[in-house]
Homo-oligomer: A and B are copies of this chain.
Amino acid sequence: MVDQETKTPTDADAGAGDPSGHPTDLSDHLEERLRDALQEGAADTVRALVEPLNAADVADLLEHLATDDRRAFLDVLGEDLDADVLPELDEEVLADVVDHLEVEQIAAAVVEMDSDDAITVLEDLDEADKREILEAIPDADRIAIEQGLAYPENTAGRLMQREVVTVPTYYTVGETIDFLRQNAERDVSYLPDQFYDIYVVDPQFRPLGAVSLSRLLRSKRPVRVTDIMDTNLKRILVSTDREEVAFIFRQRDLVSASVIDQGGRLVGVIHIDDVVDVIEEEHEEDIMRMGGLAEADLYSGFLKTTKARFSWLLINLGTAIAASLVIGLFEGTIQQMVALAVLMPIVASMGGNAGTQTLTVAVRALATKELTSTNAMRVIGKEILVGTANGALFAVIAGVVAWLWFQSAGIGVVIALAMVVNLVVAGLAGSAIPVVLDKLKIDPAVASGVFLTTVTDVVGFFAFLGLAAWMLI
Contact = CB atoms under 8 A, between A and B. Distances in A.
Contacts of A154: none
A458 B16 CA distance: 43
Contacts of A418: none
A428 interface: no
Nearest to A261: B9
Contacts of A101: none
A430 to B, nearest CB: 10
A234 B24 CA distance: 10
A110 to B, nearest CB: 18
A382 interface: yes
A145 interface: no
A49 interface: no
Given A328-B342, A382-B302, A16 B156 contact: yes
Nearest to A341: B341
Interface residues of A, number: 155
Contacts of A240: 15-16, 21
16 contacts: A6-B208, A9-B260, A16-B239, A28-B372, A64-B372, A192-B214, A254-B273, A255-B272, A290-B291, A292-B360, A298-B365, A302-B386, A312-B357, A316-B349, A317-B350, A331-B339
A28 B438 CA distance: 14
B374 A35 contact: yes
Interface string A131-160: 000000000000000000000000010000
Interface string A175-211: 0010011011000000011111000000000111100
Given A264-B10, A293-B357, A17 B237 contact: yes
A28 B14 CA distance: 49
A279 B324 CA distance: 42
Contacts of A167: none
Contacts of A46: none
B14 A231 contact: no
Contacts of A360: 287-288, 290-293
A32 B372 CA distance: 11
A64 B370 contact: yes
A464 interface: no
Contacts of A320: 345-346, 349-350
B353 A316 contact: yes
A433 B393 CA distance: 31
Contacts of A394: 313, 317
A273 B64 CA distance: 30
Contact of A291 (B231, B234, B235, B361): B361
A417 B3 CA distance: 65
A86 interface: no
Contacts of A290: 287, 290-291, 360
B370 A298 contact: yes
Nearest to A1: B231
Nearest to A206: B9
Given A14-B235, A56-B251, A287-B290, 6 more contacts: A28-B374, A66-B378, A180-B214, A249-B276, A279-B279, A312-B353
Contact of A313 (B4, B219, B321, B354): B354
Nearest to A327: B342
Contact of A236 (B16, B276, B288, B371): B16
B397 A317 contact: yes
A194 B22 CA distance: 30
